[in-house]
Structure 1
Amino acid sequence: MELPIKISQQSREPIYHQIENQIKALIASGQLQTGSPLPSIRALSKDLEVSVITTRRAYQDLEYQGFIQTLQGKGTFVADINPALKQEMKHDSVSQALSQAIDTAVQHNYSKKQIKELFQSLLDSRGDL
């Protein structure tokens, strides 16, 4: 199973944290259901072209936080997550993405008004909302 995870080498965020956050987002959105198997640490490391140590760190953090569970000899699976926690994760994920977008706009000297207009324009152009 290949996870739709994208690593940004330009990001200041550590790679293990990028992996962790994207797996949390996949769980929160329902793309990864309770009990879904995750790729092995080695397989995910190979897919993402990152070190096994980096992937292991992400998995260890996710397991410690209760998002995944490893069953000896069987593999790693999505844990049963409280629905309220899933909602909080979704909110945090969207907030973080929007915050990064705002930071980028500010770096390009956009005014608050320009950011709002751009956001509204992009939102209006989405036919699926």
Structure 2
Amino acid sequence: MPLPIHLSADTAIPIYRQITDQLQELILSGILPTGTSLPSIRTLAKDLGCSVITTRRAYQDLEGEGLIQTRQGLGTFVTRVDQEEQDTHRLSTVEKDLRKTIESGFRMGVTEAQLTELFTHLLVKVKAELTSRGGTLDE
């Protein structure tokens, strides 16, 4: 099964970094849980249409971060990710998204009071929608 990694030539971010960042996101978000077997360097390179050197660099960076481990003759696997690290990543991701939205609002002339009111309104609305659909909310 190919990994959901999408590369863009329309960015200044190097291809190996795009791969590293997206795999890191998949691992830390729990989409790729501990023990998940990753494609070989060659297979991933073929799937993504990039060089083996590029995918090797991405895997080396992820191994350096302790997120994956390659076992000779067995393959490459997602290593155990600390729950605190996952929580930190989750909050950091939400913070980045909120920051972009707030900055966008200010650039468009929305006031702090309007942003606060909108956020509070959406928080209540989305929570109610998720609850009514049987979604889980961790509080």
d(CA) in 2 for partners of 1:97, 1:6: 19
Unaligned runs of 5+ in 2: 132-139
d(CA) in 2 for partners of 1:78, 1:43: 17
CA RMSD of aligned residues (A): 2.9
Aligned-pair identity in percent equals 45
1:8-46 Cα shifts (integer Å, max 9, x gaps): 211222211111111111112211110100011111111
Unaligned runs of 5+ in 1: none
d(CA) in 2 for partners of 1:14, 1:99: 24
Residue of structure 2 in register with 1:54 after alignment: 54
Considering only CA atoms, is the larger Rg found in Structure 1 or Structure 2? 2
10-19 vs 29-38, greater mean Cα deviation? 10-19
CA contact (8 A) 1:25 1:93 kept: no
Note closer, same or farther for the CA distance 1:78–1:128 as it changes in structure 2 (3 Å cut).
same
Equivalent AA in structure 1 for residue 9 of structure 2: Q
Matches within 5 A, 1:1-129: 1-96=1-96, 105=104, 110-113=108-111, 128=130
User: How high is the TM-score relative to the length of structure 1?
Assistant: 0.75
Distance apart, 1:111 and its partner CA: 3.8
Distance apart, 1:2 and its partner CA: 1.0
Distance apart, 1:81 and its partner CA: 1.0
Distance apart, 1:85 and its partner CA: 0.8
d(CA) in 1 for partners of 2:41, 2:84: 28
d(CA) in 1 for partners of 2:22, 2:10: 16
55-64 vs 82-91, greater mean Cα deviation? 82-91
